[in-house]
């Protein structure tokens, strides 16, 4: 007899946090508006949790909605509800799973969205846009929603207006102080909306994404940076200050180092013109900016 199959009083272990679902359902929805088409391309992962102790302890599947059913629901909802935005689609899915299955008490929907841009004037030819991937995570527990949208893989670079000096030093410090350097990073950003459902008006998800992306880029470009930490705070603050519906921004900014190449052996002067872009290791700067009075809600890790 395994420990899981023993009567509860005789067990030496117990079940902790758990969830299950179908990950990475790739759904493409084409809107055929006459000759001019639109494409929504999503990667949807569903995770459900609730009264699932018995399936772990005894193998009883009585409370288990098959993961194949969650997959089917994603594709059916793409037709029935459409995909106005990744956020709205995730809200529909999360609400459905919690309200239609008594044993499911919490649903988490994670979505990546891939952009497509029309080619020429055909109306039906597209090229995949590759600047960044849009993300969202919707959680619903029957009482309220938490919506955390974001982006990843957005690479940005300032060729000047960045310094790094005056830092702590010890016997292992070899880095030279820099008074004019390249600052480059690959932005991963997540922002939490204050909207939790109920009678409150649902945000304009598509409009807000463009606005937040613009604020992040503007703050990166406008900040004369003495450290990547300073730039991170400026980017998060710009979003919270300019977008009243967002209470929290979490940023992860790897420092994509660019080092000046020594050209003296070739009799050449390198006046901040030729760099080597280092792949790894890299500095990783992470932080959260909160609206005054707001409580942190974005999970630090998966």
Which residues does the annotation mark as catalytic?
22, 67, 257
300 SS3 class: coil
Q: How many CB atoms lie within 10 A of CB 146?
A: 19
DSSP strand pairing (246-255 vs 283-290): antiparallel
Q: Which neighbouring-strand residues pair with 40?
A: 29
Kind and range of the H or E run holding 26: strand 25-33
Do 246 and 191 meet the contact criterion of CB atoms below 8 Å apart? Answer: yes
- CA angle 152/198/143 to nearest 5° reads 80
d(CA 182, CA 167): 18
Instruction: Give the whole-angstrom CA distance, residue 175 versus residue 181.
Output: 13
* Gap between the Cα atoms of 248 and 43, Å rounded: 24
Nearest to 207 by CA among 89, 85, 44, 110: 85
Of the candidates 110, 91, 121, 5, the one whose C-alpha atom is nearest the C-alpha of residue 55 is 5
Q: Would you call the peptide bond into 169 cis, given omega within 30 degrees of 0 as the criterion?
A: no
Output phi, psi for 69, to 5 deg: -65, -40
H or E element in which residue 230 lies: helix 228-242
Q: Cα–Cα distance between 190 and 135 in angstroms, integer?
A: 8
């Amino acid at each position: 007899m395994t420990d899981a199959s023993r009567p509860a009083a005789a067990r030496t272990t117990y079940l902790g946090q758990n969830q299950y679902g179908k990950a990475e359902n790739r759904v493409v929805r084409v809107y055929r508006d006459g000759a001019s088409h639109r494409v929504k391309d999503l990667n949807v992962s569903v995770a459900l949790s609730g009264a699932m102790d018995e399936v772990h302890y005894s193998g009883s599947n009585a409370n288990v909605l098959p993961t194949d059913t969650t997959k089917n629901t994603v594709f059916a909802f793409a037709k029935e509800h459409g995909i106005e935005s990744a956020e709205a689609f995730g809200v529909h899915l999360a609400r459905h799973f919690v309200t239609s299955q008594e044993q499911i008490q919490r649903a988490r929907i994670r979505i990546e969205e891939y952009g497509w841009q029309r080619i020429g004037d055909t109306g039906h030819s597209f090229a995949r846009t590759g600047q960044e991937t849009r993300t969202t995570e919707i959680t619903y527990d029957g009482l309220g929603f938490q919506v955390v949208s974001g982006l990843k893989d957005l690479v940005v670079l300032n060729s000047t207006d960045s310094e790094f000096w005056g830092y702590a030093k010890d016997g292992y410090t070899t880095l030279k102080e820099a008074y004019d350097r390249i600052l480059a990073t690959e932005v991963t950003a997540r922002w939490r909306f204050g909207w939790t459902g109920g009678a409150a008006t649902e945000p304009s998800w598509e409009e807000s994404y463009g606005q937040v992306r613009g604020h992040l880029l503007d703050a990166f470009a406008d900040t004369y940076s003495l450290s990547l930490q300073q730039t991170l705070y400026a980017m998060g603050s710009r979003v919270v200050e300019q977008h009243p519906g967002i209470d929290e921004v979490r940023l992860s900014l790897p420092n994509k180092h660019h080092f000046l190449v020594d050209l003296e052996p070739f009799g050449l002067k390198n006046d901040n013109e030729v760099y080597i872009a280092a792949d790894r290791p890299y500095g990783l700067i992470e932080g959260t900016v909160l609206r005054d009075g707001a409580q942190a809600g974005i999970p630090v890790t998966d």
